Structure 1
Amino acid sequence: MFLIVGIAPKTKILDHTPRICPACGLAQARLKRVDSYFNLFFIPLIRVKKGETVIICDRCESVSSEMSSPYYAPQAGKNLKCNSCGGPLDGKFRYCPHCGKPVILKIS
Structure 2
Amino acid sequence: MFFFIGGVQPKTITLDQTPRLCTACGLAQARLKRVDHYLSLFFIPLIPVKRGEPMVVCDRCGAASSPDQPPGVAAERRRRDGCSRCGYPVEADFRYCPQCGSRI
Q: TM-score range by the shorter chain?
A: 0.5 to 0.7
CA deviation vs aligned residue, 1:29-70 (integer Å, no higher than 9, x gap): 00000001101000000110000000000011001013368x
What code does the residue aligned with 1:4 have? I
TM-score (norm 1): 0.61
Superposed, 1:1-108 pairs within 5 Å as 1-67=2-68
Stretches of structure 1 that go unaligned for 5 or more consecutive residues are 70-108
Report the Cα distance in structure 2 between the residues aligned to 1:29 and 1:39, rounded to whole angstroms: 28
More strand by share: 1
**Bigger Rg, which one:** 1
% identity of equivalent residues: 62
Structure 1 residue 3: Cα displacement: 1.0
Equivalent residues, number: 69
Cα RMSD between the aligned structures? 1.4
What code does the residue aligned with 2:5 have? I
Native 8 Å contact 1:55 1:67 kept in 2: no
Stretches of structure 2 that go unaligned for 5 or more consecutive residues are 71-104
